Each structure stands twice: as C-alpha cells, then as structure tokens.
Chain A
Amino acid sequence: GAGVSQSPSNKVTEKGKDVELRCDPISGHTALYWYRQSLGQGLEFLIYFQGNSAPDKSGLPSDRFSAERTGGSVSTLTIQRTQQEDSAVYLCASKLRLQETQYFGPGTRLLVL
C-alpha cells in the first residue's frame, strides 16, 4: 500500500512568511508524529497526534509552531513568521496505535532566506 506522503517536498520562503507543511499518513494509522531534522543533526520530536487530538505538544519550539489533524488522517504543521533557524527537514511518521514501528514520510525540506 501507499506509504506516508508529505508535501511540498521542498519549500523556500522569506523570513517572516508563514508556511504550511502537509502529511498524509498510512491509511488506518491513528498515531502521527512530526519530527524536525536540522542539518547534520538527529531527529527532534515536535508533536504527537492520536486521532485528531494532540496529547503531546512538548517538542514544539515556540508558539509560532502549530499543528492540526482532521478526520484522523491528514495533518498540517504551520510555522508562522518563519525565522532562518526554522530551516530544516520536517519529517512526519505514522503508526498503528498498538504497534511500535513508525513509518516515515520523505520529509519537507524548508529553507528560510
């Protein structure tokens, strides 16, 4: 079946602009995670969704970051008033609720000029 998909694959924006990143999880996966991967770094947790609820938002770096999930499927990560330090690859992963394996999307490479 189809894997996790993300769009856009690349995004270049100017400092101060807002951006929206989209994640389509594997069908039936109720758990969805967003991670951020800065250049040469490991993956850093941002937010976790179970269904449409986000019981763990502890990784969001500032109030400029927000995310939502609708219909228990697609999720959108929004970054407002982007800063250069927001430049990174934003990865989405999904899994079945009672299983442990997370499947990653290809990521969105964000560059803030």
Chain B
Amino acid sequence: GENVEQHPSTLSVQEGDSAVIKCTYSDSASNYFPWYKQELGKRPQLIIDIRSNVGEKKDQRIAVTLNKTAKHFSLHITETQPEDSAVYFCAATGGTSYGKLTFGQGTILTVHP
C-alpha cells in the first residue's frame, strides 16, 4: 500500500518568512495530493491540492509543487502570519485505493510575531 513520509515534524518561523514542508510517497499509481491544515481541536481543512498531471499550483500565499519522477511534493507558504500556525498534513491517494487518503505524520508550524 501507499506510504507517505512528511518532514519536518516541527517548523518554527518568524512572521513574514517562508515555510516549506516536504512529503514523499511510495505508490506510483497515486495521482491526487491534498494538503490539510488542522488547528488545535478543530477538523482538518483542505487548503490546496494538486493532481498528478500538474507540476505546480498556487493560491495566494500557498503553493504546492509535485515531482512525479521523484515521488515527492511540497507545500510552500510565503509571507507567513501568526494565523498560519497549525498542524499541516500532506496526503496521497489514487489507483485502486477507492480514494482513501494516506496521510503524512504532520508538521507543527509555529509562526512567531
């Protein structure tokens, strides 16, 4: 089955800096890669996703890049703000997995004012 590794486990940045979180996946059949943000005690919320036929996608301060050959994808947050502080999860799905998501272990992002 699919295996997703996520790094780093914690990330601390100053407000205004950029943050990058990286994930690798194992199943070459995976073709959909969402990123979820989870604030303390809240439900995971989709912030951006990318499909395997696209190399990069951007939405305001958030961007995701995908390298299918290397089987890795990354989340980039620019001009970080304190409200970006949360746990971020990458995930992968595709092939015959019925859409079930395999998640990375999460990254705790802290943005210091």
Contact = CB atoms under 8 A, between A and B. Distances in A.
Secondary structure at the B interface, as helix, strand, loop or mixed, is: strand
Interface size range of chain B in the complex: 20 to 34
A42 B93 contact: no
Interface in A79-113: 91, 95, 100-107
B34 A101 contact: yes
Contact of B99 (A40, A102, A105): A102
B34 to A, nearest CB: 7
A100 B100 contact: no
B74 interface: no
Interface of A: 4, 31, 33, 35, 40-45, 48, 50, 55-56, 59, 91, 95, 100-107
28 contacts: A31-B98, A31-B99, A33-B99, A33-B100, A33-B101, A35-B103, A40-B106, A42-B6, A42-B89, A42-B103, A42-B105, A43-B89, A43-B101, A43-B103, A45-B102, A55-B98, A95-B99, A100-B34, A100-B51, A100-B99, A101-B34, A101-B49, A102-B99, A104-B36, A104-B43, A104-B45, A106-B42, A106-B43
